[in-house]
Structure 1
Amino acid sequence: MADLPDGEEAPKDGALPNPDVSGGLSAYVHVPFCAVRCGYCDFNTYTNLDFGPGASTSDFPESLVREIALSRGVLRGGEAAPLIDTVFFGGGTPTMLAPKQLGSVLAALNAAFGLREGAEATTEANPESVDREGLFRLADAGFTRVSFGMQSAVESVLTTLDRRHTPGQVGRAVGWAREAGLDVSVDLIYGAPGETMGQWRRSIEAAIALEPDHLSAYALTVEPGTKMGAQAARGVIQLPDPDELADKYEAADEAFEAAGYRWYEISNWARGGRECRHNRVYWGGGNWWGYGPGAHSHINGTRFWNVKHPLAYARRVAAGESPAAAREVLMASEIADEAVMLGVRMREGIEIPRFVRAETTAGLVADGLLDGRAAVAGRIVLTLRGRLLADAVTRRLWEDLEG
């Protein structure tokens, strides 16, 4: 499991240098519980469902509500109007908690800050962790979207990824969500050990056939400390090379676009008007508070992150203390770096920063990484090849900033 970054000590009362969020706020809620830990998972998740008071599936929402109360005391602005634009429950598997429990946390956010009219409220879910009644209850509680971890339509690939659902469960879950009036997103993973191009195309076609509003496709990344990381180190599994991953990305992009899904971020496609608004907050450098163990937050240039263990988290909020493990106050140069790194991933790109030399832009266009017409119009917009090499584009732009 990835370690948290270093940082300065966070104050116990959660005080921030600039707590004004009158321009809007998003909330991320981390539910750390899972039935099974997938071999590739590097997230802060646990299969133990009961660590003690405030840190079990039965009473974890009470700890979240305590942190919500603390955050309301810290943040300023918007006392007369709703503040929250988007909420995203991630994990872990949020639907390890009952719909009533998830709804109680959403209600606490609404009571503390107010959900704006038309606010987007998403929960992630594994297909086997939901049923028809539960999805209707989530909709009744105020959720508007559900994001299903489909990952693959091929049973052998699901087994490799340690996924518990069968391909047929995805279709049933999507159908129930549709009946409940929820928008649907489907996530896929490509590059699993042993996955062929033919199997990947089957997964693409199966996902499109579900007619979701939104699709995500992520290349498998294997981190040290995970089950797959250990297997790769021992030579038990072989990871795909970058060229194979690029071919699979291009296959997905072509199929999704042909089916009416437009890419709006490198790994995300959506039908018109169905982009994930919450994720745009991250990519646009907006303000969000992350609730739960290990959750990260960003408020006006200050980034902070909570202690990772559920029981340590629960004990802190029970004592009325901030669960933040540490924080960092970003310098102007760091904010500029992040704006470039995140902004270039978006379909609309970014205005060419003042520090970027004309020769750099021209070179990226000549290399087929940037759209030439957009560059003439003063914007950095990635081509398909540029999307595959986005990190390299970012590094070349950063070189001008550092120079």
Structure 2
Amino acid sequence: MNRLRVNSGPVLAVTALWLGTRGTMLWLLLHEGAPVLGGGSVAREVWRLYFDWYGVLAHGSFPTHDTTWQYPPGAGAVLLAPALLPWLSYFQAFVVLTLAADALVTAVLARAGRPAGRSLLGAALWTGGLPLLLHLPLARYDVQVTALAVLSLLALGRSPRAGGVFGALGALVKVWPALVLLGTPRGRPTREAWGWAAATGAASLAAFAVLFAHPLSFVREQGGRGVQIESLGGTALNLARKAGWPGRAQYQYGAAELAGPHVHAVATTSLCLTALAFALLVLWRMRARRWSEATPFDAALCAVLLFTVTSRVISPQYMIWLVGLAAVCLTSRHTGQRPVAALVLAATAVSTVVFPMYYQEVVDGTWTGCLLMLVRNGILASAAVLSFVRLWRSARPEGKSVRTTEPHSDSERLRDRALSLS
């Protein structure tokens, strides 16, 4: 009984932290009209944009000729989900479902961290890191997407098939969760995870095509996006404004983007850097020779970091993804991404200063706005480079061998213990 009490102590602490921080986030959401909290701009995306899309989706069609609709068809299911709580307003139901997804992530991270040799640091990082974005996570559906990615990663070790299913469902909502399957161990786990992901994706797309009109309408609008003001390319262009570049910021494709000479060249450069990042990840996988239980986690965080920093868009809610993936890494004592997780938390904190606190400074291209973006994007770029370097080194064959799976039988444990002492 005493042992049970000792072991349950950290879980109770995480639970108390979750209740306290989420209560604070709800309070901020209720008082978001304050200028320092964005003057209502954070929640507006739900009760205006999401609710408008809900009206279209409820009539059996995805939005067409809408430059703000840039999401795969699975996003429609998330935006329709508040209808499951008809006694609440759309906004209230959306927040309740977001909190439920948040609680699920916390619970599965805590469960993953409880076995011997693991850590509750992952659950603590998610619980304490998400409020660094203030009330923003409650007014975006990125928590739901991150929940699918976290479930995918944590399921891979026990059931690659389930991991593939969750990864595919996440990709159907916001594409990037497809990257979490990059680090699956070679052989049967990869075949099962990727095969079930492909089957789930195909079946789901077919279902959306039957139930809704225009399920692929997002492709047209996604391809037309320019350079968002918070991206690395946007930061470079904002600095160029100080040197006389005649461009300006304007609202288009659902975000503040920069318009003017050479913007297309910057956007093309971003796409080329994304292709280079993908090539590096493929090279890593081809040359990797060692897998630990943490390799899929570390590879997922590294891949999403690389794709984030090279993207034409780095919205503040992207930090939700990175916090969630960093938290998964910290559930394993084998992870090499601990310093990267610290950088992710630092970038998350700065992102809040950027939006909603000083976003107008960024849009106006003031020195304050430029400095904030340099700091945030500099931290993200450093985290991406460090993450890839540590991932690459962890897969090299030199040094002590690491098993691709955890030993399950007593004989395996005794054998590994003997090898470690020899």
More helix by share: 2
Normalized against structure 2, the TM-score is what?
Answer: 0.28
More strand by share: 1
